[in-house]
């Protein structure tokens, strides 16, 4: 079965700046750096949450304002970012994204120096705005660079490098940040926590982002020119049922994935789970995101062989089973079953994204912007997760991601089917 009909992607021609035949391989290789940095920056939030929670003595709900600010930027800036990319082009959008993300990283220095949670959240929003631009420009660009029928596998492969970033980030973050965090079970003052632990890493990340932007400015990438279509002018992307349902799928997928990832450190600290110190628990987070990385490399192969809807449903069912196993057990079984959910998450984003834009033709770019807005689920679902955890327990809060995966199971089986 073909994974995506040619009409599922924008009708476009690609030429390099010199007008010669496009070199897709080199362009896609350069974009892996973009996806790596997006994953690295996003996953550092999982380390930042317990760090700021300790500094400011926050509840789970208050600590999840970090996710609200970061992923809320997708909701606020997603559509404006799409217009910026339309005006500046894919390369221009990526360049601006790197520069804004670097500015957000540099703002962590005064935020930590003043020990202001509000400034931390503001810096995160600026950083996230840059990431939104990178995401809005990067995903459709990868989808267009190559044969339409191989788009799901191609996007999954580049997402694997995103997962490489999410795998490396917890290791560096726990070593550089959580290692400076005192024992969560002992009384401590905010003044006792070294703020340089968060200043130095983010200054370094900002410097790397600036360097990448300079290199990108000199890199020759294929230009995208869209051909005119004969479709009815009053037809809009949101008129397609499978896209709207796909937006819900992206919302719950990102929400469930982030809700689990952001609370793994706290969950593994529970005495009846693993009783791990923050530094050790932070190291374990890499297995969660590492599983997603391995699954995406495998998925890049499987999505060329297997019906994508059925593979999506299978992974969603596996994620549900693993979360339920974790919350109903204790010790190593509870720990490793939750960490293994990352493997099930692996192909979900790329598969939902591709199924949602299938058959949309000239509406694909507009649909891509709407799907990026739906990433706000990474802000709202973790907030609800934190509220449930505060009112009851972390274990009970894990039922929320189970509901998210149940919807994805349905979307993979029925929801993505296009109606006439």
Query: How far, in Å, are 9, 35, 111, 264, 317 from residue 413 at the CA level?
Result: 22, 29, 46, 30, 11
Question: Which residue in 334, 350, 292 sits closest to 150, CA to CA?
Answer: 350
Q: Residue 253: what pLDDT? A: 96
HEC per residue, 160-214: HHHHHHHHHHHHHHHHHCHHHCCCCCCCCCHHHCCCHHHHHHHHHHHHHHHHHHH
Cα gap 28→90, rounded to integer Å: 13
Question: Which residue in 9, 19, 7, 20 sits closest to 145, CA to CA?
Answer: 9
* Structure tokens that stand for 235 in this block: 């037809």
Alpha helices in 24-183 (DSSP H): 24-56, 60-63, 65-106, 108-114, 117-144, 151-176
Domain covering 11-226+237-415 in this structure, CATH number: 1.20.1250.20
Q: Residue 19: what pLDDT? A: 35
Q: Residue 192: what pLDDT? A: 55
From the number of C-beta atoms within 10 Å of its C-beta (0-12, 13-18, 19+), residue 290 rates as buried
* Structure tokens that stand for 79 in this block: 């559509």
Cα gap 126→132, rounded to integer Å: 10
3-class SS at 12? strand
The helix or strand, by DSSP H or E, that contains position 13, with its residue range, turns out to be strand 12-15
Cα–chain center distance at 298: 19
Q: Residue 8: what pLDDT? A: 40
Domain ranges of the chain: 11-226+237-415
Specify the length of the chain in residues: 420
Exposure string (b/e) for 105-144, b if CB count within 10 Å is 16 or more?
Answer: bbbbbebbeeeebebbbebbbbbbbbbbbbbbbbbbbbbb
**DSSP 8-state secondary structure symbol assigned to residue 6:** G
**Residues 20, 149 contacting (CB under 8 angstroms):** no
**DSSP 8-state secondary structure symbol assigned to residue 226:** E
Q: Residue 151: what pLDDT? A: 66
Tell me the sheet residues that pair with 13. Answer: 225
Give 278's contacts (C-beta < 8 A, 6+ positions apart): 50, 174, 178, 181, 184, 265, 269
Low-confidence ranges of the chain (pLDDT < 70): 1-27, 46, 143-152, 178-196, 222-235, 237-238, 361-365, 420
Residue with structure tokens 């004969």?
230
Cα gap 314→261, rounded to integer Å: 21
* Torsion, Cα of 93, 95, 96, 99 (10° steps): 160
CB atoms within 10 A of CB 391: 11
Give tens-digit pLDDT for 16-69: 443 333 456 666 777 777 788 888 887 777 677 777 777 777 787 787 788 788
């Amino acid at each position: 079965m073909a994974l995506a009909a040619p009409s599922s992607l924008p009708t476009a021609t690609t030429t390099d700046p010199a007008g010669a035949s496009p070199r897709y391989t080199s362009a896609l290789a350069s974009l892996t750096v973009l996806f790596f940095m997006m994953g690295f920056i996003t996953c550092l939030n999982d380390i930042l949450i317990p760090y700021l929670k300790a500094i400011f003595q926050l509840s789970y709900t208050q600590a999840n304002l970090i996710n609200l600010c970061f992923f809320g930027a997708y909701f606020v800036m997603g559509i404006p970012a799409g217009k910026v990319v339309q005006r500046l082009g894919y390369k221009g959008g990526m360049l601006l994204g790197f520069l804004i993300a670097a500015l957000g990283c540099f703002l962590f220095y005064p935020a930590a120096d003043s020990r202001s949670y509000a400034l931390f959240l503001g810096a995160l929003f600026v950083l996230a705005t840059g990431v939104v631009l990178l995401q809005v420009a990067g995903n459709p660009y990868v989808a267009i660079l190559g044969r339409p029928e191989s788009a799901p596998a191609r996007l999954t492969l580049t997402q694997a490098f995103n997962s490489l970033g999410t795998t490396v980030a917890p290791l560096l973050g726990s070593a550089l940040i959580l290692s400076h965090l005192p024992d969560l079970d002992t009384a401590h003052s905010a003044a006792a926590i070294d703020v340089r632990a968060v200043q130095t890493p983010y200054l370094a990340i900002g410097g790397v982002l600036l360097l990448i932007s300079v290199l990108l400015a000199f890199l020759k990438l294929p230009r995208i020119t869209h051909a005119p279509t004969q479709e009815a002018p009053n037809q809009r992307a949101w008129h397609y049922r499978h896209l709207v349902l796909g937006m819900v799928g992206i919302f719950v997928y990102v929400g469930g994935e982030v809700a689990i990832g952001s609370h793994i450190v706290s969950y593994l600290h529970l005495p009846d789970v693993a009783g791990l110190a923050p530094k050790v628990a932070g190291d374990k987070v890499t297995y969660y995101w590492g599983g997603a990385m391995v699954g995406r490399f495998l998925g890049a192969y499987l999505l060329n062989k297997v019906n994508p809807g059925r593979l999506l449903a299978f992974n969603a069912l596996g994620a549900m089973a693993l979360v339920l196993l974790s919350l109903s057990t204790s010790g190593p079984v509870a720990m490793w079953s939750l960490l293994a959910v990352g493997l099930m998450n692996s192909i979900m984003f790329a598969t939902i994204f591709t199924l949602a834009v299938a058959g949309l033709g000239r509406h694909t770019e507009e649909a891509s912007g709407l799907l990026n807005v739906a990433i706000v689920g990474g802000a709202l679902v973790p907030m609800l997760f934190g509220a449930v955890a505060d009112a009851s327990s972390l274990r009970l809060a894990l039922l929320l991601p189970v509901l998210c995966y149940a919807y994805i199971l349905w979307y993979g089986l029925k929801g993505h089917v296009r109606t006439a």
